[in-house]
Amino acid sequence: MRDIEEITPAQALARQAAGRLLIDVREPGEHALGLPEGALAVPRAALEAEPGRWAADPAAEVLLICGSGKRSLLAAQALAAAGYARPVSVSGGFERWRAEGLPEMPGAREDADFLERYSRHLRLPQVGLDGQRRLAEARVLVVGAGGLGSPAAYYLAAAGVGTLVLADDDVVDRSNLQRQILHTEARIGVAKVESARTALSALNPRLAVETAPVRVTADNVEALVRDVDVVLDGADNFPVRYLLSDACVLLGKPLVYGAVHRFEGQVSVFDAGRRRGEAPCYRCLFPEPPAPEDAPNCAEAGVLGVLPGVIGLLQATEVLKLILGLGDSLAGRLLHFDALRMRFRETRLAPDPGCPACAPGRRLGVHDSLSPACRVTP
């Protein structure tokens, strides 16, 4: 393979002024952060796949730039192998171009705060500018601003989810502070949704926080779920979990479930509302709620303070994946975490063909229940 000429950004600018073509081979999300003035934005893979589409004359000198100079060198080698006579790589890339104060142009319509705040997402080809825009347009309902809702909401806010709808009727108590990281000593006695709004807005002022200081019931659950894209279940009781599941099935919303108990937690995605007969709902896993003595809450059984953080972050990860359409969700899988043994294990979940809520052809309203124990009234 022949040697590729490498030049400085200043030399590239001079050659560009003399009529040479400058191609920026970074990814679209990186282009969004800014471009050398006059450069053509073409991702490396696209350039190498169809070089003639961008550089019509194989005999002409072509200047290539990337972030630091490595990808542009590889792209130049690919062009040389394709028969281009004079591919040139810009050493130090756009990082050096910017450091030397050379002229640049904006790569996206978003403001500087957006581009800087989410720059690490923009550099991920799987997220990029389009993905970050989808996050900014998304609405997520977080039920419970406590142990699970706290870390989940924090990271969803940081990641750039545009609107968080927080539903919780409780107030901050000192005993919450061991694990509910949205709240502080100074906000003891304040409604949790307002305390959460304060913390989340301080982290990301671009975020819209809608608060619902209410207990989730059969009378309000559909209104809470209807206009959101994803529901995150941070509830601490079975009746609310059944209500959320039934509402999500009814309205076709994915539900990201999490639960903790002492030193163990579990996470799943219930997407039966959009995938009837293919993905299970919460009732497929728990047709009937366990007896109260078999499932004590945190106040009764205790919980390791960091455990809700682990489970809440896993829930937030699933929410982001669902919004972005990335990877494989936990739909049809229940992920168990044992903090004492530091082990994860997975259980496969199949939809119940006889489920009264999600089986094809069935329709269970949120005012219906399999058991009085599943009912929540105002």
How far apart are the C-alpha atoms of 112 and 114, rounded to whole Å?
5
How far apart are the C-alpha atoms of 89 and 339, rounded to whole Å?
50
Q: Would you name the residues annotated as active-site residues?
A: 298
